[in-house]
Amino acid sequence: MNDFNERAKNWDTESKIERSNAIAKSIKKNIKLDKNMNILDFGCGTGLLIFPLIEEVGAVHGIDLASNMLDILKEKGKNHKNLTTEVRGIYEITSTFDLIMSSMVMHHIEDITKLAKKLYDSLNLDGMIAIADLMKEDGSFHDSLDGIYALGFSNTFLEQIFKDVGFKEIKVVENIFIIEKNNNKYPLFLLIGKK
């Protein structure tokens, strides 16, 4: 996590903000948000996905293993009374939520089945997930594969794993954003699932 702590101060680039806004837009289009919702953003970083949604929900809890990221998030969100943060990983969460979301975190997690089960168990009845990540790619997205456990994901792989742990109404929305990097285009998906 030292790498992400070091990268925190330069994290909020124009392209990352644009990407997060596109993901937030897709979440709003596919999930009915309301002021009673309690949301978890895991691997939340500096809160780029939180701020486009925070006015439309009840409470947002952001967790990340990089404390420097959370310091920036807390500073940016100091006027939002419905925002809480914690240095914690997803497997350490004991509360339940109405919506659990993340952006570009899943490819850093080794066991996707274990993650899917944890997400399912951490949702209230009829709770939803909204997970954005890379569609299948050739390994050229990252400069180093250190801490990378998947080169993007295929729809069939995700649908099967999340269905097997109990999710219903699973949907993968493709091409919600395209990252242009290294003369390549890397499309992102949004995985929606309901408990």
- Each domain of the chain, given as residue ranges in start order, spans 2-194
Nearest to 104 by CA among 181, 45, 163: 45
Token duo for residue 112: 């996707």
Query: What pLDDT was estimated at residue 2?
Result: 57
pLDDT value at 191 more than 90: yes
| 37, 57 Cβ separation under 8 angstroms | yes
Query: What pLDDT was estimated at residue 137?
Result: 95
pLDDT digit string (tens) for 29-76?
Answer: 999 999 999 999 999 999 999 999 999 999 999 999 999 999 999 999
CATH number of 2-194: 3.40.50.150
Q: Phi and psi dihedrals of 178, rounded to 5?
A: -115, 120
Average pLDDT, the chain: 95
Query: What pLDDT was estimated at residue 5?
Result: 82
59, 94, 108 from 163: Cα distances, Å: 27, 22, 21
How many other CB atoms sit within 10 Å of the CB of residue 67?
13
- Quick one: how far is CA 28 from the chain centroid? 14
